[in-house]
Amino acid sequence: MSASSLPPIAQAFQLAAGFAFTQSVHAFVQLGIPELLKDETRSTDAIAAQCGAHPETLFRFLRLLAQSGVVELDGRQCRLTAAGRFFRKDLPGNITQDLELMTYEPWQEAWNNLLYSLRTGEAAFHHAMGEEPWEYFRQHPEYGRPFNEWMTALSQMNAQALVDNYDFSPATTICDVGGGHGFLLKTLLSHYPQARGILFDLPYVVAGADLEGVADRCATVGGDFFENVPRADILILKSILHDWNDEKAVNILRNCAAALEPGGKILAMDMVITDDYNPVGYFYDMHMQVMLGGRERTQEEFSALFARADLVITRFIATGSPQCILEAEKA
C-alpha cells in the first residue's frame, strides 16, 4: 500500500498545505462536530446551529474536510468516515489528545527547526526551545500535564496488550522505568496480586502518580535512568527507547542490566518498524528525532542496541497493538 491514490498534484498540494489540514481537524474537534455526528447523517446547517458556527462557512469547511476523507458529504448532508471516527473523543483509541499536542507552539517550533535536525542529527526541540522536552514540561505544566495525560491514554490502549501477551505470574518485583503516572503498572499489579511494583520516573512526574488500589504494594521512586534504576526481576521500558539516540538508549539499557535480579527480564515496548508502508511508524521515527534526537527501530537495530548493553533479546512478541514486546535478558 502507498499514499498514491490521490492525483499527484493533490498529493503534492496536501503536503504543501499540511499545516492547514492540522488546523482544520483541530477546529473540527474544538467545535465538537465528531461527537455531534456520531454515526448519524446531519445537514450542515443543523450542525452549524448546534455548534454555534456560521452556516455557509461551516459548509465550505466541511466540503474541504470531505476532500481529505474526514467526512462524507451528499449535497449538504454530512456524516463521519471511518477515518473521521478517530476524532470522536467518546470512542476508545481516538487521537484527539495527540492532535492537541501537535497544535502546541513548542511542538510546532521544534518542527519549524527540522533543518537543524537534518543537518546535525540532533534534536530540533532543544535547539528551538533551549531545553529538552522533559525539563521544558517541568517548567511549563500547561504542556507537561496534557503530555502526561496523553501518555496515560496511550497506556490505556496498550496496557491490556501487555497483560494479554505476557505472563507475569513468576514476577516478584516489577519496576516500570519511565513509567509516567503509573497506569500500566497499576493495571499489571491489579492482575497479579503476588507482585510488588516500583514506579520509577523523574521526581516531578512520579509526584503526579495515580496508584489507587495498589498503592500498598507499589513504591514510587523519583530519579534519573541515566544514573541508575531500582532493582527488580522485571524491568519495563514502555515507549522509552524510541525517545533516545543509540548512545543514550544503550546507557539506559546498561543501567537496567545492572539492576536486574538474577534470572530477571527486561521488557521493552516500542514499535518495531519494517520496510512495509507504515506512515504512522515513519512519522513517529522523525517526530522522535525532532523532539529528542530519538528514533524508531527495526528488529535488527534493536538486537544490535541490546547487544551493546550485554543483553540478548529472547523474543519479539507481537501484541495486536502498534507496539511489540521485546523480552531480553543478560547475555
The set of catalytic residues is: 242
Q: Which is nearer to ligand SAM, 65 or 205 (CB)?
A: 205
Stretch that binds ligand SAM, among 1-9, 115-123, 150-158, 297-305 (CB under 6 A): 150-158
DSSP 34: H
At which residue does the C-alpha cell 445537514 appear? 43
- Establish if 179 lies at the interface with ligand SAM (CB under 6 A): yes
Q: Residue 218 or residue 240: which is nearer to ligand SAM going by CB?
A: 240
Among 105, 164, 224, 310, binds ligand SAM (CB under 6 A): 224
C-alpha cell of residue 117: 535536525
User: 190-197 — which CB contacts under 8 Å span 24+ positions?
Assistant: 190/214, 191/163, 192/168, 194/169, 195/168, 195/171, 196/172, 197/173
Alpha-carbon gap, residue 66 to 74, rounded angstroms: 10
> Does residue 255 belong to the site contacting ligand SAM (CB under 6 A)?
no
One character per residue 67-106, x = contact with ligand SAM (rule: CB under 6 A): ----------------------------------------
The least CB distance from residue 236 to ligand SAM, in Å, is: 8
Q: Which stretch binds ligand SAM (CB under 6 A): 45-53, 76-84, 89-97, 237-245?
A: 237-245
Q: End-to-end CA distance of the chain, in Å?
A: 38
Give yes or no for residue 295 binding ligand SAM (CB under 6 A). no
The conformation of residue 269, written as its DSSP 8-state character, comes to E
Q: Which is nearer to ligand SAM, 68 or 319 (CB)?
A: 319
110 contacts ligand SAM (rule: CB under 6 A): no
* 151 near ligand SAM, rule: CB under 6 A: yes
Least distance from C-beta 181 to ligand SAM, angstroms? 8
Q: Quick one: which segment of 54-62, 82-90, 175-183, 294-302 binds ligand SAM (CB under 6 A)?
A: 175-183
Q: Which of 25, 80, 198, 205 binds ligand SAM (CB under 6 A)?
A: 205
Q: Length of the chain in residues, anyone?
A: 331
Please tell me whether residue 202 binds ligand SAM under the rule CB under 6 A. yes
Provide, rounded to whole angstroms, the least separation between the CB of residue 32 and ligand SAM.
27
- CA dist list (Å): 197 to 172, 192, 264, 325: 8, 10, 14, 19
**H-run or E-run covering 264:** strand 260-270
Could you please report the per-residue DSSP string of 304-328? HHHHHTTEEEEEEEE-SSS-EEEEE
Q: Name the residue among 34, 30, 39, 42 with its Cα closest to residue 86.
A: 34
Backbone dihedral angles phi then psi of residue 181, each to the nearest 5 degrees: -90, 0
Q: Which residues bind ligand SAM (CB under 6 A)?
A: 134, 151, 154-155, 178-180, 201-202, 205, 224-226, 238-240, 243
